[in-house]
Each structure stands twice: as C-alpha cells, then as structure tokens.
Structure 1
Amino acid sequence: MKKSMLGVIDATMPQGEMGALAAHRSPAAIPFAGRYRLVDFVLSNMVNSGIQSVAIFPRSPYRSLMDHLGSGKDWDLNRKRDGLFFFPAPAKEGQLSRLAEHSDYFERSEQNYVLVSNCTSVANMDFVPALERFISQKCDLLEITHKGQSVCMYILSLSLLMDLIKSRHETGYQSVQDAVENQQSPYTICHYEYNGFLQRIKSIHDYYDTSMKMLEKEKWSQLFNEFQPIFTKVKDEPPTKYSNDSYVTNSMIANGCSIEGEVNHSIIFRAVYVGKGSSIQNSIIMQKSKIGDNCILEHVILDKDVIVEDGAVLRGTAEEPLVVKKGSVVESTVASS
C-alpha cells in the first residue's frame, strides 16, 4: 500500500504573502530551524510514508529551490524508477491548469493514488493512516485537517485527478480544493484529523512564531525524532566556536558559527559570526550573516549574508519582527514601523 501513492507538492504559493523572505526564492525554499528549508518537511513526510515518486510544481523564482533539492539524493529520491521530478509551473492561474501542462507525468505513473500537498506545512506526519482511511471508507476525496481546519493536503485516486484536470473547463474547478469545498460536487468527501504538531506557514508572523516554538523542547521533540527523520541537504561545516566571553541560553546554534557575544532565545543558522559585546534576543539569524561588535538585535529576522556594522541597533516586536533582506548592510539603528 505504501508504494501505491504519488506525491504532488504545489509550491506556487504567492511570494508576497511571505514578504522579503520570498523576494528572491520560492516560499518552499525559505530556511527554517537552523538548517532546513520549509519544503523539507512535507517532502520528508512523503518519503517516510513510502512515497517513491514526488513531483514539485514551483513558481519563479525557483533557483534556490532547485539548488537545495538537487537530484533528490538526500531524500533517497535519486532513483532509476520514479524519484523526484521538478516541473516549473507556467504562468497560468489554477492548480489544475498547471498540472495539465505535465499531464504526461501522471499518465505514465503506475501509482493508484495521489497525495496533493502545499509546501509550507511544518509537521512530522505519517500519511499511511490517511490513505488507509481513504480506502476503507471508499472516499473519492480525502481532506487532511488539523484542529478541524483544512491544511490543504488531499488524497484522491490518480484516475480522479486526471478527470479533474481534463474536465476543469466544464466544472470550473481550478484546484483539488475547489472540488472538496463545492457542496454540489458529486464526490464522496472524507476527512482525516491529524493530532500531532502542525503549523502552516503563510506569513512572516507565522514563520517567526513557528520558529520560536522550535525552542520549546516539547514541540521540538514532536517534530524531530529518529524514527521519522526530517531530511535536508547535507552540508559539512566545522563545529561552532564559542569565545570565553560568549553567553548562550535557550538557543539553537548551527555548525560553523563563531559566537563572541550574547545569544538568548534565538535561532542561529550555519556560519554566522556574532561579535564581541553584541546581544541577540528573540531573533532568527540566517546563514553567513555577520553581526559586528556591540550590536543589539531584538525580535529580528536577518536573511542570508546580512552584515550588521558595529554598534547597530535593530528592534522589532513579537507581533511584527523586523525583517532584513538578503545581502543587506545595516549601519545604524533600525526598528519595525
């Protein structure tokens, strides 16, 4: 049963909803939790559920996503049969129209069922129980929910997906979701409630709030475990170096960093430098950023390769974190408006 399902990841979420973090990358490729990308979670969940063929449909810009996924080796999807497929979505409105551009992929597939998912749900979910319910209850469409709300993940037969694609102009359905939500549809709709940790990231606030939850041991342990690992692109980095004057509490520090200041309740990605006398509180600092000496950062999200000059003060709030775009150089005091 595990190998009878095809994975489809819809990575066409509008970049505008994620603000500056998606200005130069697909939302699926946004870095998360020190070493991952958002797409790693749903992709790993599919692989852990026995899915061996996954198609990703991204919208431009997608170079960062392609670089991260590569051949799919880190998810054991670089295989001669099935594997990872990357289908850049054309500039067409409607999920089903975008899938129709690559209908030959579905026509060649030998799986009986399809899991269609968004790209930004952070969870560690086994999809097999959902598929078992779909089959046992003889559903046409199954919607996965969390706390009674849809998480935009659906299971249906491959033949029905092909029918929805071919009949989209007659039915007016633009997506699988439309078919589920239409009360006049002829389909039997079932639901599967997922009770574990799940956060759907649709905004900067969602991203910041979910990231801070990763610093809570209980939530972290629900998301990361040895039995259902979350895979990501492997990078070799030296251990992080802490100076004698550094002070770190309740934080996540990735490899390759150099910490000479204070870090509290924050997430620090790979190869970040924190200078002497600097204080980082409740913040997210992405890869290869450099914070000079005697800086203050509170409720801040620094994208990759940001340079914060000596003495700069950056302040946001928990409700509106200050986001600094990739490659910026910050020379003075900045606060969220």
Structure 2
Amino acid sequence: MKKELLGVIDATTYHDDLEDLLTHRSLAALPFAGRYRIIDFVLSNMVNSGIRSVAIFPKLQYRSLMDHLGSGKNWDLNRKRDGLFFFPSPIIDNDSNRIGSFDRFAENLDFFYRSTQEYTIITNCYTVFNMNFKPLLEWHIRTGCDITDIYHKDGHSMEMYLVKTSLLIKLIETRDVTGYTCMKDAVTDLNSLYTVCHYDYTGYSVMIDSIQNYFSTSMNLLQTNIWKQLFLKDQPILTKVKDEPPTKYMKDSSVQNAMIANGCEINGTVENSIVSRGVKIGKGSVIKNCIIMQKCQIDDNCYLDSVILDKDVKVEAGTHLTGSALTPFVVRKGTKQGALMNS
C-alpha cells in the first residue's frame, strides 16, 4: 500500500468569465469536445494512474455533475472498497478559486483518517490534459519532497499538489495555528517548514477559465496534432456512456473538419465545428466555427459562425448569429433564438 495514491478533486471553482455556461451547472460538468465533461480529464488521469479511491468536493449547482458521474461505473470506481466519494460543501463564501480549501476538507476529515493510501494528489477540476501520475509519485518520493506543486512548461502552477496523506491531515488540523487556508498557502509560504518542490509537466495542458479560452481550446481540438496529444490509446479519456444511434447524414449535408457525436441528424453544412449528441441541423443551414451542445435544434436556412449553443437551444428558421474567435456569440441553455429577435 506504500506507493498508492488517493485522488482528491476540488470542484468548487467558479470563473465569472464563464457565467453564461455555468448558470445551470458547475464548472466540472461543463461539456467539452462533443461527448465529454471537463472533469472527465482529471478523473480519467487518476484512474489511468491506478488510483482507485477518488473524492470530489463540489459546492454549488452540482446536480448535473452527480448525474454525469453516477456511481463511477464508467471509470471503474463503483467498488466495494474505495471507489468514488462525493462531498458537497455547505460553506458558501466568495473565495471560490482557492484549490484545496482546508476548511472544506475538515468537514470530511474522517474520510482522510480512514484512507489507506499513503499519498494524496489534490487537483482542480477544469484542466484539459492527459497525464500519468505514477512518474510524478516516483519523482516525489525519490527527491524527498514534502509537497510537490505541478508546474506547466510555461512556468505556471497547474494548481495540483502531491503530498503525504498524513501531512495533509496535519495541515488541515493545524490550519488555525499556521494560518494556511489551502494548499497554495502551504506551497507559497517562504518560511515554510516543509520541502516544497516543482514538478514540470511538459505535455499538452489548458486550464479552462474563460469563454474565449474555452472556445479556442475546443477549436484547437480540430487540429490533428493537438488531438493526438490529448487522446491517447493507452491512456483513454473516459466518460458517461450513452446508447444512441449513429448520426444520420442526409443527402444534402456537407461536413468538413468537424467532430460530430452520435444521434445527430445533419441536413445542412458543418465546417470547423464540434457538434454534441442528438443535435438536428436543418436544410440550407450553415454552421461554421461553432460549438453546438447536446440536443440543440437548428431549423432550416440558418447561418451560425463562431457561436456557442448551450444544451437544448432552439434556433428558428432563417436566423443569423455571428461572433468571433475572441468573442464568440453565446446562447444560454434551453433558450430560443429567432430571426426576428436578431433583426
């Protein structure tokens, strides 16, 4: 049991710049790449690294996250021992962007007491990357670090921390004495009694923290070289499985450089876009540089360029919506867009 890892995902973060997409969901549950949620990446990384016990700490609007994760079966975490644990936080505060809050962990300190894993990896929920944590753990042990802060190749912290579980418990228990409120406080204190190390991760990694960032990262997936860095055969990104029929491409449809999920019906033109499950696109409609989320309906003769449609949006016939790469046009979940509304 010595070199086993406990996984902890902090899903409490809220970014104001993503407000239009977070009205009905947490950041962890934000749809991505047609069939995934943002949390799928870090959760899959943990499972692919041999982690068999994962605790998720959400705060607000976590119904869709719970619905997506379920029992953890799709990640092989529906176990009699260990498995997937969900610890919603009753703490309502304005400090929502500090990863690894010791106050939140303290509410469920018994979980850490009972854990048999000697080490704990604490992560955020909104980084798109594919990383095996085993080499990190070996490096951490070999170098004699107390806390390891994972850094991206651009020199910034990825807000992911590796620490002995016993030390994590100590940091939680002594937070009122040390003044440490979260993991970041512990790693940035120049007078710290602990050996803090930086581990450089050189793979593809993007932290989703704004609409523009979400849009550009999604569009970049249409580049083969980036796709291959993120979706690896030996380290698959797992997600909730849905049994849906294949997509229907009607005789007048045209699709170029696009990702189309199952269950869609395409009658129009789709270029450089990501289309999620169950979307219907009408005749004569043109979709360019767009992100179309689940079960949207786009009627005939519409034109959409640089648009993000959240789930269950209906776009009426003849509607034209145009944004840009820097400021994509965002339509909130479950709303209707009509030609008269935009004239």
Matches within 5 A, 1:110-189: 110-147=116-153, 148-189=155-196
Q: What's the CA shift for 1:172?
A: 1.5
Q: What's the CA shift for 1:17?
A: 3.7
Matched-pair contact (CA < 8 Å) for 1:248–1:263: yes
CA distance 1:136–1:193, change in 2 (3 Å)? same
Q: Choose the corresponding residue for 2:202, options 184, 188, 195.
A: 195
Q: Secondary structure at the match of 2:148?
A: strand
TM-score, length of structure 2 as denominator length: 0.95
Q: Choose the corresponding residue for 1:108, options 114, 124, 130.
A: 114
Q: Secondary structure at the match of 2:255?
A: strand
Matches within 5 A, 1:268-307: 268-307=275-314
Q: Secondary structure at the match of 1:107?
A: helix
Q: Secondary structure at the match of 2:262?
A: coil
User: Aligned equivalents of 1:173 and 1:332: distance in 2?
Assistant: 54
Match of 1:58 in 2: 58
Deviations 1:109-151 (A, max 9, x none): 0110000000011111001111111100110100111122110
For 2:325, give the aligned amino acid: A
User: Aligned equivalents of 1:274 and 1:66: distance in 2?
Assistant: 30
Q: What's the CA shift for 1:243?
A: 1.1
Deviations 1:5-37 (A, max 9, x none): 100000000253421111110100000001000
User: Aligned equivalents of 1:178 and 1:89: distance in 2?
Assistant: 20
User: Aligned equivalents of 1:165 and 1:182: distance in 2?
Assistant: 16
User: Aligned equivalents of 2:208 and 2:319: distance in 1?
Assistant: 30
Number of residue pairs aligned between Structure 1 and Structure 2: 335
Matched-pair contact (CA < 8 Å) for 2:7–2:51: yes
User: Aligned equivalents of 2:2 and 2:201: distance in 1?
Assistant: 18
RMSD: 1.3
Q: What's the CA shift for 1:92?
A: 4.7
CA distance 1:184–1:141, change in 2 (3 Å)? same
Q: What's the CA shift for 1:333?
A: 6.6
Moved over 6 A (4+): none
Matched-pair contact (CA < 8 Å) for 1:302–1:326: yes
User: Aligned equivalents of 2:315 and 2:204: distance in 1?
Assistant: 35
Match of 2:21 in 1: 21
Identity within the alignment, %? 58
Matched-pair contact (CA < 8 Å) for 2:302–2:320: yes
User: Aligned equivalents of 1:109 and 1:61: distance in 2?
Assistant: 27
User: Aligned equivalents of 2:191 and 2:215: distance in 1?
Assistant: 39
Q: What's the CA shift for 1:332?
A: 2.3
- Structure 1 stretches lacking a partner, 5+ long: none
> Does residue 208 of structure 1 match 2:218?
no
For 1:236, give the aligned amino acid: D
TM-score, length of structure 1 as denominator length: 0.97
Matched-pair contact (CA < 8 Å) for 1:2–1:128: no
Matched-pair contact (CA < 8 Å) for 1:141–1:189: yes
Matched-pair contact (CA < 8 Å) for 2:2–2:118: no
Match of 1:226 in 2: 233
Matched-pair contact (CA < 8 Å) for 1:3–1:51: no
User: Aligned equivalents of 2:2 and 2:293: distance in 1?
Assistant: 36
> Does residue 328 of structure 1 match 2:335?
yes
CA distance 1:48–1:334, change in 2 (3 Å)? farther
CA distance 1:333–1:164, change in 2 (3 Å)? farther
User: Aligned equivalents of 1:52 and 1:181: distance in 2?
Assistant: 30
For 1:181, give the aligned amino acid: T
For 1:83, give the aligned amino acid: G
Match of 1:87 in 2: 87
User: Aligned equivalents of 2:25 and 2:16: distance in 1?
Assistant: 11
After superposing the two structures, state which structure 1 stretch, 93-102 or 127-136, moved more.
93-102
User: Aligned equivalents of 1:242 and 1:333: distance in 2?
Assistant: 29
CA distance 1:225–1:18, change in 2 (3 Å)? same
After superposing the two structures, state which structure 1 stretch, 191-200 or 35-44, moved more.
191-200
Matched-pair contact (CA < 8 Å) for 1:3–1:52: no
CA distance 1:290–1:92, change in 2 (3 Å)? closer
